[in-house]
Structure 1
Amino acid sequence: MLDRSELAVEDLLKIILLLVIALLVLEIIGLFVEVLASISPVVALVIVVLIIAYLLDYI
């Protein structure tokens, strides 16, 4: 049976490191979504049209 006192300090530091990395990844994803949301609708429409034209082999 695992006793609470048997949990090593290194294991706790690894858990904290993983949580900090997860927080940083979420912050970066949030920043990326915010940048995408700030693009004007006209530019987004042009990007969508270009992608569709590429997929349909018009360009």
Structure 2
Amino acid sequence: MKAIVEEGCISCGACVGECPEVFRFGDDGLAEAYAEVTAENEEEAKAARDSCPVSVIDIR
């Protein structure tokens, strides 16, 4: 699966804190998904998506 941080990120860090295996801060200070969502981190990635206060994370 793939995680995508769509436009509108507010750099709160919720996703990075919840699942650093998939999310990190990019050079622009906004969150980005840098790794695939795997069976091992799927639960954490979905929790990161659900914790996003502006709902800009999609997992496909």
Query: What's the TM-score bracket when you normalise by the shorter of the two chains?
Result: under 0.3
Higher relative contact order (CA 8 A, sep 6+): 2
TM-score in terms of structure 1 length: 0.26
**By percentage of residues, which structure has more strand?**
2
Q: Which has the larger radius of gyration?
A: 1
TM-score in terms of structure 2 length: 0.26
**By percentage of residues, which structure has more helix?**
1
